[in-house]
Amino acid sequence: MYSEDIENGVAQERAGDDVYSKPVRAGKRTYFFDVKATKGNDYYLTITESKRRIEKDGRFVYDKHKIFLYKEDFEKFAQGLEEVVEYIKERCPITERVAPEHSQGQYSSDVNFEEL
C-alpha cells in the first residue's frame, strides 16, 4: 500500500486493493505472492523478492524487486517456470547438506544467487 502524506490527513493512494497474500521465507530472502484487485475488481498477482541487508552504519534495509503478473499471462508464466525448474532439477539436483542440530534440515545446490 502506498500512501501520500498521511500526517496531513490526505487520503491514502493504493497501488491495488490487497485480496490475499502468501509470504514464503527462503534463506536470506522472503518472497511475497500478493493477489490484488483493480478498481474494476479484476485480479492480478505481484511477486516481490525482499532481502534484508545491513548498511555501513549498521541499519537494516530491505532490497525489494517486484514483478506484476496479469491473469492472461498465468498459463504461459507457469509453463515457463515449470520448464526451467525441471531443467535445473535434471542438471543440478538438490543435495542435502549436514545442518546444525537446531535446524530442521537445509537443502542446497551449488548455485550462488548473489553472483547472478
Query: pLDDT tens across 77-109, in order?
Result: 999 999 999 999 999 987 766 555 544 544 455
Q: Where are the domains of the chain?
A: 6-95
pLDDT in tens, 51-78: 998 899 999 999 999 999 999 999 999 9
DSSP E strands in the chain: the ranges are 17-26, 29-37, 43-54, 60-70, 95-97, 106-108
pLDDT band (50, 70, 90) for residue 19: very high
User: Is the Cβ–Cβ distance between 69 and 46 less than 8 Å?
Assistant: yes
Instruction: Give CA separation, 100 vs 24, 25, 111, in Å.
Output: 22, 19, 21
pTM metric for this prediction? 0.62
Q: What residues have CB less than 8 Å from 106, skipping those under 6 apart?
A: 96, 97, 99
CATH number of 6-95: 3.10.450.700
If we measure between CA atoms, which residue out of 80, 83, 71, 69 comes closest to residue 32? 69
Nearest to 109 by CA among 87, 94, 88: 94
| Residue 4 reports pLDDT greater than 50 | no
Does pLDDT of 6 surpass 50? no
